[in-house]
Amino acid sequence: MTAGGPELADAEYVLPLRWADDRDLPDLAAYLGRLVAWLPVTVVDGSDDERFAAHGRAFPLAVRHVRPDPHPGRNGKVAGVVTGLRLARADRVVLADDDVRYDRPTLGAVLDRLVDADVVRPQNVFDPLPWHARWDTARSLVNRAAGGDYPGTIALRRSALGPEGYDGDVLFENLELLRTARARGGVVRRADDLYVPRRPPTTAHFLGQRPRQAYDSLAQPGRYAAELAVLPVVVLAARRGPRALLALAVAACAVAEAGRRRAGGTARFPASADLLAPAWLLERGACAWLVLALRATGGARYGGSRLPRAATPLRELRARAAAERSHRAAPAPVAGPAPGRPPAPRHALETA
């Protein structure tokens, strides 16, 4: 921290939080203690009253700790994000989940990328790396090879989303935010070479995420169709024999390795994660069929609610943004004569 305040006083860090278990509170409080020396920090906390009070006592005094404002929709995280953006004292904002752990150089680097972008997507890496985090790393590697991973943190300009924020009634809120920025004409950039550590979830939480993460694919029909095809392809390969199955496994590992080699990833991702790519694809293929049942019964569970929609199609968001621009640009109606009253004579209008 400089004599005049945080080093990055022209930016802000926003952390939406809603905990039912405080086992990680000491680690988060220590991290926030480091963060407030670098930039202002706002924690938008939707936890119950008892935990909210405990968090306020544990967090550094310099952290702004607030409740989320009401926001339409059942995804409480969106309410936290929108509240934090509304309260932010700077245009450049870093949004991050509670398990993200920036260091000072990476924080500055991701903010610097906003010079020619409205949203920047860095790459998360698990630290430490238990077995289930290694398994989930295979997902990240496949994503890096096939269009980009969706991290638990982004940097953005507040103006990227507009005054209403984004839809709070979708499951895949990260994608919804990115699409909303694009629909409004914003520039969204991948930053696959910026690696931001994140803490892995518990094993139980990881297992519970499997169907929900698969449900996100409903927002990307092409990807979802490919995931539905995984099990049929594996069954056909099994009928042909072990060599066909081995060929599929090698192909999956090759895709993951392509993602690992992208943007210096070999120094950040273990090669062993490649070997788990076939298992992860098999898991995703099975969960893709489970998603059909979830969709038919009301959607995926999230925060005590069921959310039927994964995300809004980009074309629909663009149409909304165009309608909003058209409404703003429309001239104000010209006031006419009062009902039942004849127009004033021309000379009266000219001399008024």
Rounded to an integer, the average pLDDT of 21-37 is 97
Check residue 344 and give its pLDDT: 42
**Domain contains 319:** no
**Domain contains 100:** yes
Distance CA 179, CA 148 (A): 14
Q: Dihedral sign for Cα 135, 139, 140, 141, please.
A: positive
**Domain contains 287:** yes
**Domain contains 132:** yes
Check residue 345 and give its pLDDT: 43
Rounded to an integer, the average pLDDT of 263-283 is 98
Distance CA 281, CA 237 (A): 15
Tokens of 248: 């599929």
- Show Cβ contacts of residue 96 under 8 Å, excluding neighbours closer than 6 positions: 13, 14, 15, 102, 152, 153
pLDDT in tens, 228-253: 999 999 999 999 999 999 999 999 99
Rounded to an integer, the average pLDDT of 280-306 is 95
pLDDT of 268 > 60? The answer is: yes
Rounded to an integer, the average pLDDT of 150-169 is 95
Check residue 324 and give its pLDDT: 85
Tokens of 210: 């499997």
The pLDDT confidence band at residue 303, using thresholds 50, 70 and 90, is confident
> In the chain, pLDDT over 70 holds for what percent of residues?
92
Nearest to 300 by CA among 209, 176, 231: 209
The pLDDT confidence band at residue 347, using thresholds 50, 70 and 90, is very low
Check residue 4 and give its pLDDT: 61
- Show Cβ contacts of residue 3 under 8 Å, excluding neighbours closer than 6 positions: none
How many C-beta neighbours within 10 Å does residue 263 have? 16
**Domain contains 101:** yes
Tokens of 57: 């006592």
The pLDDT confidence band at residue 47, using thresholds 50, 70 and 90, is very high
**Domain contains 117:** yes
Contact by Cβ (8 Å): 256, 273? yes
Tokens of 303: 């925060």
**Least confident window among 20-24, 304-308, 340-344:** 340-344
Nearest to 321 by CA among 101, 85, 162, 139: 162
Rounded to an integer, the average pLDDT of 213-217 is 97
pLDDT in tens, 98-151: 999 999 999 999 999 999 999 999 999 999 999 999 999 999 999 999 989 999
Q: What is the CATH number of the domain that holds 55?
A: 3.90.550.10
- Show Cβ contacts of residue 251 under 8 Å, excluding neighbours closer than 6 positions: none
* Residues β-bridged to residue 42: 14, 64
The pLDDT confidence band at residue 346, using thresholds 50, 70 and 90, is very low
What does pLDDT average to over the chain? 93
Check residue 327 and give its pLDDT: 78
Tokens of 120: 């920047």
**Domain contains 5:** no
Nearest to 321 by CA among 174, 161, 116: 161
Per-residue CA distances from 102 to 97, 106, 110, 193 (Å): 11, 6, 10, 14
Check residue 3 and give its pLDDT: 56
Query: 331: which DSSP letter?
Result: P
Q: How many domains does the structure of the chain reveal?
A: 1
Full residue range of the structural domain in which residue 173 is found: 11-303
**Domain contains 310:** no
